[in-house]
Chains A and B, each alone.
Chain A
Amino acid sequence: MAKVHVQNVVVLDNPSNFSNPFQFEITFECLEDLQEDLEWKIIYVGSAESETYDQVLDTVYVGPVPEGRHMFVFQAEPPQPSKIPVADAVGVTVVLLTCSYRGQEFIRVGYYVNNEYGDAELKENPPAVPQFDKLMRNILATNPRVTRFKVDWDDTNKSGTTKGEQIIESDGHQKMDASLMESMDVM
């Protein structure tokens, strides 16, 4: 059972200039005192084509985390324009918010991000070289894509992660006498 449940993420300062920092206000609940810190990351996907353009904007440790509900703001610097392929500067990309425990990622929240020029003229005729200072960033905050992973929360036992065999009802191996059903009337 996952010990940490993300309950809410509010994207602050959105929409905003491309050069403004990212700010996420995260609420999570922890079911048992954690022995170690949580590690949160914000990853900016520079290009959908390749992971090599992913930029880890920031990493923070969050702790100590006792049982209960907690809240914090995670602020990270904007991505470095120089590392973004020219073709991907404008348009839709993704920013990921991930959380790991003991080095195992257990939740990944993905947001679509739309970068476009605020200026109508530039919007119509985007320059060949992106002008990052004029880009506006809009995070589609109302539609996060949440992926959860099973991780080993206990340090002691390694069991509990395997699962999958369901006892499937096997049909057809029982040949029942249908005539018995006749004794059963509908009133």
Chain B
Amino acid sequence: MKLLKPAWVTHDGKPIFSIDIHPDGSKFATGGQGDDSGRVVIWNVAPIVKEQAEQDDNIPKLLCQMDNHLACVNCVRWSNSGQYLASGGDDKLVMIWQLSRYGGSTIFGGGGKTNVEHWRCVSTLRGHSGDVLDLGWSPDDQYLASSSVDNTVRIWNMLNMPESIAVLKGHTGLVKGIAWDPIGKYVASQSDDKTVRVWKTADWKQETVVTEPFEECGGTTHVLRLNWSPDGQYLVSAHAMNGGGPTAQIIEREGWKTDKDFVGHRKAITCVSFNSNMLRKSALHKGTNYCCCAIGSRDRSLSIWLTSLKRPLVVIHELFLNSVLDLSWSRSGYQLMACSWDGSVAYIEFDDKELGQVVSVEEKENLFQRMYGKKSFSTGVDKKASIVIEDPDWIQPQVVEPSVPSVIEEDGGMLSSDSRASRTSQIVAKGPTDKQIETRTVDGRRRITPVFIPPLMEEDDAQSSHASNHSSAALVQPTFSSSTESRSKIVVEKRDEVTKPGLSSTTSTSPPPPQVNARKEMSNILLNRRLERNEPERSVVSVRTSGSSAASVATTGISIFRSPDSDKVAIAPLSVQKSFSVPASCGRSFEIENQSYFVGHKMAVHKLSCAMHGKVAWDIFMSSPMIGCAASVYCVAVTCSDATLHCFAVGDGSRIIPGIKLQGPAVHLRVQDHFVSVVTAHGQMNVWDIIKRKSTLKTSILSLTDSDGSVTLTSCTIRDTGLPILSFSNSKTYTYSTDMDTWLLLADAMDPLRHGSDLQGISSSGSFGSGPSRSSVINNVESKIICSISYADMKMSALAELNSPAEYRTWLMTKVKYMAQQGMEDRLRSLCEDLLGPVHRSSQRGKNWQPTILTMKKNDLLQQVLQVMATNVKMQRLCTEFQQQLKMLTEF
């Protein structure tokens, strides 16, 4: 046995909280405190193993230092593949690191330290509300578990970072340790609440809680890093008590018995780490395998145990000046590293005479096969198998899952879209790559768009590290140096443009369009932004109305300005233009020529003419100058400056109704089929059915404006009921309900609910209210769930009002699917109950029950809902219950 304490592995004397050896054994990571930040350092193993290498200045010792955590790093863990490094700290974050091919660089301001490798943060997992204390990768690297001061354990989907799959709640104290079962069936956690809890990976429910050995535990340790034996038979806890002495409790997989423990340390045990290999004395001793375990304690000592021995193999006293905080075995099984609060690390090397022979991977797999009926590293594949299927019908929906409506695919896609986008975006150059662009801001200051340096990600192989290319240290660019060159290599392109500081052009790399007059420009930008924001919405609406062949006034939007002190509203009326033309469907267009013909002194008539494929079909003279014109296939309407509205048949120009006197000059005119809608400068809105000669709406739109500012009406669509749908520049969409005599808010693209919801973006297939999609900003998962449900409910009520059954169903299914995923059994139950209706006549809830919604039979909907729910095995009982009731209903 060799023992070494490399003095150069240090965080400048500050505590080192965690250590982990890379699976390929070439490097190791440490985590702890840095200068005013958390620090993760990746070190080279070679200079520790070989003295020769230590003295060779060409062999780097420090490979990479990451000071990105805001506060102390409590845990660093390599994924089993070695591709990723996870770090968790007091800043409540878990960061995932990956080697990038940028090559190294000097640590800026790091006092001459050089990063030989460049590890960059590829994902940040946010969700914990307290310090993250321990981390663990599942055996197949599919999941990462993190334990925190917030009393929870979180499970993250590492195939779709940064998705959080589950929050394991149950601990009533700080959770200080995490251990995965090597078979992948369980994950265990140890907490200050004096318990060890074992959770099932199949449904993330608690399997058991072990309390007895911890009852006497007093005081605290910084961490409680428990560990599972490589054969999966034993879980060994950190700090436990037996007869007044600190122990490491052995918890057996069979029945979670707690008969045995490791005794001898004088103070609380902080960390336990099993050698990941199974061992045997020699090749001759087949079948007598044993495991090897290292235990670190607050008593500053370290003990190594073999399960075949009753006493420890070795105890190293006073290895450190303070508590041992973490342990890591190399994959080879003969190297062990430990780190301590005193800021130092220890390296211990064994040989096969001391520990024994490593059992080959094949043999280990065979053993797993014998013991557990499956090989290791398979958390995901057959996790469903561990849930007992209670009804043979259940086997079917599992298979059918992918073919259940498109809703599900959309749903899955949505959850991952964020990370997928960010992953692909790593390749895309997001700015100029050859020059920096300089513009001026409104206040005359310079604004620089920097040169974007495209990264070269190491996607596939994490192997090619410094080991293969550390000779290329020469490639490391000189840094924070000075240069006598008077010019930089960077080309500076100065543009004579005025830009507004901000990130106005994130989506497109092209700079904002040039503007001229500074003062005018300010307001223009504001206006443009407002319009830009609203663009998607407008286009969506126009898609919907395209079938009804409508043409509207040349003005797309009207701005309504409301002064805050009074209720007076100023809407700029349409101005009188000499002539204009309005294109319409079927090759028609309408030409307006004001003052076309003088009948006397200063007396003129004004001409409206209809052209069909360039030829004039008919002409009409009007007595007042026309300011607006709109047409459908049936009818053409014009408004005049004397506040009148006139309607003519498109075919021959015959007048349909006498002129309608408006309350004020019209500012917005729309004709759709046989409906004509007008908004006047006073904010009055009218809709008339020209055929039936009836008013379908007469109300004010002033209540729809923001109380503080101005909004612009961006689109107006008339439904076949004769009621309008209005969209405004503040992203709100309204319709009018004559039954309720009020405006109803249908959608709000800027709704915070929508941004906090997991379900945003689904309306891409829908008809309205899709605004710019932003990444979710809500970190708190519970709020997010509630937000998503609230958002779906809002959508559904709007769709019910709009009488759009297909979309209503889409949203209903999305909501059900989401609730099933989140395991919201109670809410699903009440939803199902409503769809089911009264089961028997005396039932109370049947009083006001409607058997249909939007012409769809509720029971049919329930059938579909149950199918969607069936994709989650956890819901099987609820599903079966309602299926049976539904069957009963249809039979009688």
**What residues of chain A have their CB less than 8 Å away from a CB belonging to chain B?**
1-2, 5-16, 20, 23, 25, 27-29, 31-37, 39, 58-74, 109, 139, 141-142, 144-146, 148, 150, 154, 156-157, 160-161, 163-164, 166-167, 169-171, 173-174, 176-178, 180-181, 183-187
Residue B422 at the A interface, CB < 8 A? yes
Question: How many angstroms between the C-alpha atoms of A14 and B482 in the bound complex?
Answer: 6
Chain B nearest Cβ from A178, distance in angstroms: 6
Of the candidates B124, B451, B503, which one forms a contact with A36 in the assembled complex, judged by CB atoms under 8 Å apart? B503
Known: A1-B95, A141-B481, A186-B315. A37 touches B108 (CB 8 A): no
Chain A nearest Cβ from B217, distance in angstroms: 9
Cross-chain pairs A/B with CB under 8 angstroms, 24 sampled: A1-B68, A5-B108, A7-B105, A8-B480, A9-B108, A10-B480, A11-B482, A15-B482, A16-B486, A62-B448, A64-B506, A68-B455, A70-B453, A141-B481, A142-B480, A142-B481, A144-B480, A169-B323, A176-B244, A176-B245, A176-B246, A181-B265, A184-B264, A187-B311
Q: Are A170 and B109 in contact (CB under 8 A)?
A: no
Neighbouring B residues of A183 by C-beta, 8 Å:
263-264, 311
Q: Are B219 and A173 in contact (CB under 8 A)?
A: yes
Q: In the complex, given contacts A60-B447, A142-B480, A173-B218, what are 11 additional A-B residue pairs having Cβ atoms less than 8 angstroms apart?
A: A2-B70, A9-B108, A13-B483, A13-B485, A60-B448, A63-B447, A64-B449, A66-B452, A69-B453, A169-B323, A178-B266
Q: Are A8 and B479 in contact (CB under 8 A)?
A: yes
**What 3 A-B pairs are tightest by C-beta distance, nearest first?**
A146-B109, A141-B482, A184-B264
Neighbouring B residues of A167 by C-beta, 8 Å:
149, 174, 220, 222
Question: How many angstroms between the C-alpha atoms of A34 and B174 in the bound complex?
Answer: 34
Q: Which of B55-111 contact A (CB under 8 A)?
A: 68-72, 90-93, 95, 102, 105-106, 108-109
Neighbouring A residues of B889 by C-beta, 8 Å:
none
A-B pairs with beta carbons under 8 A, tally: 231
Neighbouring B residues of A176 by C-beta, 8 Å:
244-246, 266-267
Residue B502 at the A interface, CB < 8 A? yes
Known: A23-B488, A157-B779, A187-B312. A37 touches B447 (CB 8 A): yes
Chain A nearest Cβ from B297, distance in angstroms: 10
Chain A nearest Cβ from B292, distance in angstroms: 13
Q: Are A177 and B37 in contact (CB under 8 A)?
A: no
Neighbouring A residues of B93 by C-beta, 8 Å:
1
Residue B477 at the A interface, CB < 8 A? yes
Known: A1-B124, A73-B490. A184 touches B311 (CB 8 A): yes
Residue B517 at the A interface, CB < 8 A? no
Question: How many angstroms between the C-alpha atoms of A31 and B486 in the bound complex?
Answer: 31
Q: Are A181 and B70 in contact (CB under 8 A)?
A: no
Known: A163-B71, A177-B245. A169 touches B341 (CB 8 A): yes
Chain A nearest Cβ from B87, distance in angstroms: 11
Residue B431 at the A interface, CB < 8 A? yes
Neighbouring B residues of A146 by C-beta, 8 Å:
108-109
Neighbouring A residues of B441 by C-beta, 8 Å:
61
Neighbouring B residues of A181 by C-beta, 8 Å:
264-266
Total count of chain B residues near the partner, CB < 8 A: 86
Question: How many angstroms between the C-alpha atoms of A171 and B220 in the bound complex?
Answer: 9
Residue B221 at the A interface, CB < 8 A? yes
Neighbouring A residues of B102 by C-beta, 8 Å:
69
Neighbouring A residues of B436 by C-beta, 8 Å:
71-73
Of the candidates B425, B490, B779, which one forms a contact with A71 in the assembled complex, judged by CB atoms under 8 Å apart? B490
Residue B11 at the A interface, CB < 8 A? no
Question: How many angstroms between the C-alpha atoms of A10 and B483 in the bound complex?
Answer: 7
Q: Are B312 and A185 in contact (CB under 8 A)?
A: yes
Known: A63-B501, A63-B502, A68-B455. A12 touches B485 (CB 8 A): yes
- For B107, give the chain A residue with the smallest CB separation: A7
Chain A nearest Cβ from B860, distance in angstroms: 42
Question: How many angstroms between the C-alpha atoms of A15 and B219 in the bound complex?
Answer: 60
Q: Are B482 and A139 in contact (CB under 8 A)?
A: yes
- For B35, give the chain A residue with the smallest CB separation: A148
Residue B468 at the A interface, CB < 8 A? no
Question: How many angstroms between the C-alpha atoms of A161 and B68 in the bound complex?
Answer: 14
- For B508, give the chain A residue with the smallest CB separation: A64
Q: Are A10 and B481 in contact (CB under 8 A)?
A: yes
Q: Are B453 and A174 in contact (CB under 8 A)?
A: no
Q: Are B482 and A71 in contact (CB under 8 A)?
A: no
Q: Are B455 and A37 in contact (CB under 8 A)?
A: no
Chain B nearest Cβ from A33, distance in angstroms: 6
Question: How many angstroms between the C-alpha atoms of A24 and B506 in the bound complex?
Answer: 25
Chain B window 410-444, contacts with chain A (Cβ cutoff 8 Å), 1 for yes, 0 for no: 00000000000010011000110000100001000
Neighbouring A residues of B312 by C-beta, 8 Å:
184-185, 187
Q: Which of B183-237 contact A (CB under 8 A)?
A: 218-222
Q: Are B222 and A6 in contact (CB under 8 A)?
A: no
Neighbouring B residues of A11 by C-beta, 8 Å:
481-483
Of the candidates A16, A70, A142, A156, which one forms a contact with B431 in the assembled complex, judged by CB atoms under 8 Å apart? A70
Known: A31-B68, A166-B72, A166-B90. A71 touches B245 (CB 8 A): no
Question: How many angstroms between the C-alpha atoms of A35 and B775 in the bound complex?
Answer: 12
Q: Are B121 and A68 in contact (CB under 8 A)?
A: no
Chain B nearest Cβ from A175, distance in angstroms: 9
Chain B nearest Cβ from A153, distance in angstroms: 10
Residue B492 at the A interface, CB < 8 A? yes
A6, A139, A169, most chain B CB atoms within 10 A: A169
Residue B569 at the A interface, CB < 8 A? no
Chain A nearest Cβ from B463, distance in angstroms: 24
Q: Are A160 and B220 in contact (CB under 8 A)?
A: no
Neighbouring B residues of A16 by C-beta, 8 Å:
486
Question: How many angstroms between the C-alpha atoms of A78 and B347 in the bound complex?
Answer: 54
Residue B878 at the A interface, CB < 8 A? no
Q: Are A169 and B221 in contact (CB under 8 A)?
A: yes
Question: How many angstroms between the C-alpha atoms of A29 and B303 in the bound complex?
Answer: 44
Residue B298 at the A interface, CB < 8 A? yes
Chain B nearest Cβ from A118, distance in angstroms: 14
Chain B window 306-318, contacts with chain A (Cβ cutoff 8 Å), 1 for yes, 0 for no: 0000011111000
Q: Are B448 and A9 in contact (CB under 8 A)?
A: no
Neighbouring A residues of B479 by C-beta, 8 Å:
7-8, 10
Q: Are B105 and A8 in contact (CB under 8 A)?
A: yes
B72, B105, B266, B441, most chain A CB atoms within 10 A: B266
Question: How many angstroms between the C-alpha atoms of A166 and B622 in the bound complex?
Answer: 84
Question: How many angstroms between the C-alpha atoms of A74 and B492 in the bound complex?
Answer: 10
Question: How many angstroms between the C-alpha atoms of A58 and B444 in the bound complex?
Answer: 12
Of the candidates B263, B455, B482, which one forms a contact with A142 in the assembled complex, judged by CB atoms under 8 Å apart? B482
Question: How many angstroms between the C-alpha atoms of A164 and B482 in the bound complex?
Answer: 37
Chain A nearest Cβ from B299, distance in angstroms: 8
- For B477, give the chain A residue with the smallest CB separation: A8
Chain A nearest Cβ from B32, distance in angstroms: 11
Chain B window 243-271, contacts with chain A (Cβ cutoff 8 Å), 1 for yes, 0 for no: 01110000000000000000111111000
Chain B nearest Cβ from A1, distance in angstroms: 5
Q: Are B425 and A72 in contact (CB under 8 A)?
A: no
Q: Are A37 and B501 in contact (CB under 8 A)?
A: yes
Chain B nearest Cβ from A17, distance in angstroms: 10
Question: How many angstroms between the C-alpha atoms of A163 and B37 in the bound complex?
Answer: 10
Q: Which of B445-472 contact A (CB under 8 A)?
A: 445-455
Question: How many angstroms between the C-alpha atoms of A166 and B426 in the bound complex?
Answer: 36
Chain A nearest Cβ from B182, distance in angstroms: 27
Q: Are B446 and A70 in contact (CB under 8 A)?
A: no
Chain B nearest Cβ from A155, distance in angstroms: 8
- For B221, give the chain A residue with the smallest CB separation: A169
Q: Are B246 and A12 in contact (CB under 8 A)?
A: no
Question: How many angstroms between the C-alpha atoms of A23 and B91 in the bound complex?
Answer: 36
Q: Are A68 and B452 in contact (CB under 8 A)?
A: yes
Question: How many angstroms between the C-alpha atoms of A6 and B431 in the bound complex?
Answer: 18
Chain B nearest Cβ from A126, distance in angstroms: 25
- For B438, give the chain A residue with the smallest CB separation: A60
Neighbouring B residues of A150 by C-beta, 8 Å:
70
Residue B484 at the A interface, CB < 8 A? yes
Neighbouring B residues of A8 by C-beta, 8 Å:
105-106, 108, 477, 479-480
Q: Are A69 and B452 in contact (CB under 8 A)?
A: yes
Q: Are A63 and B449 in contact (CB under 8 A)?
A: yes
Neighbouring A residues of B509 by C-beta, 8 Å:
64
- For B485, give the chain A residue with the smallest CB separation: A12
